[in-house]
Chain A
């Protein structure tokens, strides 16, 4: 059985953009999964998604919800919902563009779940906003829960 792969995006030096990474570090304690703190991988995210294992992709999102609100959707749904990010992503390849590029290339997404936490401010050097900081433990718990569920399903499917 393949370990569930948890891919975490963000930048800890850019305010709330570090929230997913902070949650993943908490979730990693005692967790049995492959953790990739990917930061801003650009198009290399396609390589990270190229796996036979179930995937949990964790990132900070902006949907208009209150800061700290959690989002959980199947991975394939995020492809339709993701909007092009600001060009601050590495050479214009943020996760939305990378997922779209994978779609254009006909690359299938792995089975998995996208977990997001709503961010509010992303200035360099800024701390997490209060609402986002309060949500970090809940996001860590969500990572563990989703990993366990995906792992259980993997066991079932492989007998």
Chain B
């Protein structure tokens, strides 16, 4: 490494799900290379789904992630039910939204308090941070526990829930069971409001980027479990069914995750910042008030401030869950009967980390002919690399170790879920001029 060259790298990122690294090389103030490398092996879920019954899909895709299994189930159900023209009852849709609130709570609480907070407070891990900031960690665990309890009640268990099914739920809770969670959720809401104040007080590096924000749209509610359009800042909305026309995935040599960009090559950002920038007017009034009083001005363009936005979304999820419980009407039937037919459907929902898009081709026998899953971390991958390029000038004035930590903190702001991002690479083999798709 010459005197003019600086390299920042971490070979094994911690406090993220899965295995990845980053590498940033700057020569004479110019970024020569910025890489987020994902070397966790692909798990071939899309190939695994082929030939399986559409009724098995929610259980299979839930296994993609232990943190956001509901997101995978909801996107799959949106796609399959859309393909078959199935319309679950309003009560079932409300229950799915309630289930998804539980996932946002547990996932965001984990990230805010145990994964990202140590960066702001100067600790290598939550274990070390807990020795000095016990109340902070206990608050995170308590919030996460409340979210898990909601998932366990609605989903049958807290991790990899089993009750969501094509057409509805295999089993729905009794009203008194939901009311049994109310006190814990109310305490969670109060604690989440305090968390917004706390996250807003954390020191944040000055760093703003000009992002293209991408989030689910359609309907009057804050984007979560349904939406028929995708909002792209500065451009026309994209129908969910047309995702593949407007967004392209490409293989990059340094990663087992496909990197996603707009069709013109522009990297984009999905996740909490995109959601709040597009849909702040749809936040629950309590979350909107928290944003007004303690949140950053909109649009939020500093990824380090995403910790505040996540805290605001925790408030939203608790408040909406409480409203959902109060308004709960037990469905007359937990699910509608579904008849198989040949069809293709796409669906998208908002996973805690951002837009999660699925497409399924079903045969007349109800078996999956083809599946495609585009998770948020692979969509954010190119944008993370752009951020590393963007932050480079500010790093040069920092000691090397501090600069490296600043990069890690930046990557963690995306709450990357690397295990989710590694997915099936479509190979095209050129044998003597004959292209053979895999």
Contact = CB atoms under 8 A, between A and B. Distances in A.
Interface of A: 13, 38-44, 46-47, 87-88, 90-93, 97, 100-101, 104-106, 124
Nearest to B152: A44
B17 A43 contact: no
A92 B412 CA distance: 13
Given A44-B144, A44-B148, A91-B67, 19 more contacts: A13-B63, A39-B66, A39-B159, A42-B67, A43-B114, A43-B141, A44-B145, A47-B141, A87-B13, A87-B16, A88-B18, A90-B17, A91-B115, A92-B14, A97-B125, A97-B127, A100-B127, A105-B137, A106-B134
A46 B131 CA distance: 16
Interface string B172-194: 00000000000000000000000
B66 A42 contact: yes
B128 A104 contact: yes
Contact of A47 (B66, B138, B148): B148
B138 A87 contact: no
A73 to B, nearest CB: 21
A7 to B, nearest CB: 13
B41 interface: yes
A43 B130 CA distance: 13
A88 B19 contact: yes
B126 interface: yes
Contacts of A104: 127-128, 130-131, 134, 137
Interface in B125-168: 125-128, 130-131, 134, 137-138, 141, 144-145, 148, 158-160
B14 A101 contact: no
Nearest to A42: B66
Contact of A105 (B130, B144, B159, B160): B130
Contact of A41 (B41, B63, B159): B159
A92 B144 CA distance: 16
A101 B127 contact: yes
A84 B123 CA distance: 16
A113 B302 CA distance: 48
A87 B19 contact: yes
Interface in B102-123: 110-111, 114-115
Nearest to B109: A43
B134 A40 contact: no
Given A91-B115, A105-B137, A42 B110 contact: yes
Contact of B144 (A13, A43, A87, A100): A43
Contact of B137 (A39, A41, A44, A101): A101
A106 B126 CA distance: 14
A100 to B, nearest CB: 5
A54 B148 CA distance: 23
Contacts of B18: 87-88
A105 B134 CA distance: 6
Interface in B329-368: none
Contacts of A42: 66-67, 110
Contacts of B394: none
Pick from B43, B66, B67, B137 the residue with the most CB of A within 10 Å: B66
A39 B159 CA distance: 9
B12 interface: yes
A15 to B, nearest CB: 13
A100 B141 CA distance: 14
Contact of B159 (A44, A97, A124): A44
Given A43-B141, A47-B145, A87 B130 contact: no
A94 to B, nearest CB: 12
Nearest to A90: B66
A87 B419 CA distance: 11
A124 B15 contact: no
Nearest to A98: B127
A130 B111 CA distance: 39
Nearest to A47: B145
Contacts of B40: 88
A145 to B, nearest CB: 28
Contacts of A47: 141, 145, 148
Interface in B5-39: 12-19
Contacts of A91: 15-17, 67, 110-111, 114-115
A100 B131 CA distance: 10
A39 B16 CA distance: 19
8 contacts: A43-B144, A44-B145, A91-B111, A101-B126, A101-B137, A104-B128, A104-B134, A105-B134
Contacts of B17: 90-92
A87 B144 CA distance: 20
A92 B67 CA distance: 12
In the A-B complex, list the 4 residue pairs whose CB atoms are closest, starting with the nearest: A104-B130, A100-B127, A104-B131, A91-B17
A38 B157 CA distance: 10
B370 to A, nearest CB: 21
